[in-house]
Amino acid sequence: MGRLTNKLIAKLFTRFPSLAEKWVKNAAQSNIQGQVEDIPWAPFNKELKDCKIAIVTTAGVHLKTQKPFNMEDPNGDPTFREIPLDASKQDLMITHDYYDHKDADKDINIVFPIDRLKEMKDRNEIGSISGINFGFMGHIQGAHIDTLVNETAPQVAKKLKEMQVDAVLLTPG
């Protein structure tokens, strides 16, 4: 399907959630069912006000200066983009044809709530925010699932651990 078709379908899914539900049911069964065997678990024992928080979004957020996610590959793009904490909202954009991000283009916080986290930090509700947050494009199919699960997602997990992040807020598109 071309990009225009994908965008039209994304608008239909947003307008008619029941269509999206049916598609998701089939897609989940064909693409990811059985891919994840064990549920990862890390106990949470700290106070939130002492925690370093990171955002990892699959909403296709990245810096305008970075290479956009590949929208020409029908199986998606399993790579990620590093988003520095000091990036301004004007520095950010969304590349993702598989959901209607018209509203997120107006206010990135509805998929990447960086301003809300900064406000929480100012209120001492969280300790700090990761210096780097991460953007993925959440339409991953076929062989790219293996790349995501075994290569790019572990790379991000390693970076989060190195930055001593205590908890990650995962947001979809």
A 10 A CB-CB count for 67 gives 11
Cα 3 from chain centroid? 20
1, 2, 3, 32: residue in contact with other proteins (rule CB under 8 A): 32
**Pair type for strands 128-129 and 80-84:** unpaired
Residues 27, 49: Cα–Cα separation, whole Å: 38
Among 4, 18, 41, 86, binds other proteins (CB under 8 A): 41
> If binding is defined by CB under 8 A, does position 93 make contact with other proteins?
no
Strand pairing report for 92-94 and 61-63: antiparallel
Q: Does 42 bind other proteins (CB under 8 A)?
A: yes
Q: What angle do CA 159, 165, 169 make, to 5 degrees?
A: 100
Report the nearest approach of other proteins to the CB of residue 170 (Å). Answer: 6
Given a contact cutoff of 8 angstroms between Cβ atoms, the answer to whether 95 and 6 are in contact is no
Q: Is residue 44 a contact residue for other proteins (CB under 8 A)?
A: yes
Alpha helices in 16-142 (DSSP H): 17-27, 102-106, 114-122
Please say which residue, 65 or 173, places its beta carbon nearer to other proteins. 173
1 touches other proteins (CB under 8 A): no
170 lies in the site for other proteins, by CB under 8 A: yes
Query: Counting contacts by CB under 8 A, is residue 167 touching other proteins?
Result: yes
Q: Which residues bind other proteins (CB under 8 A)?
A: 10, 13-15, 17, 20-21, 24-25, 27-29, 32-33, 35-36, 39-42, 44, 48, 59, 99-104, 106-107, 109-111, 113, 115-117, 119-120, 126, 167, 169-173
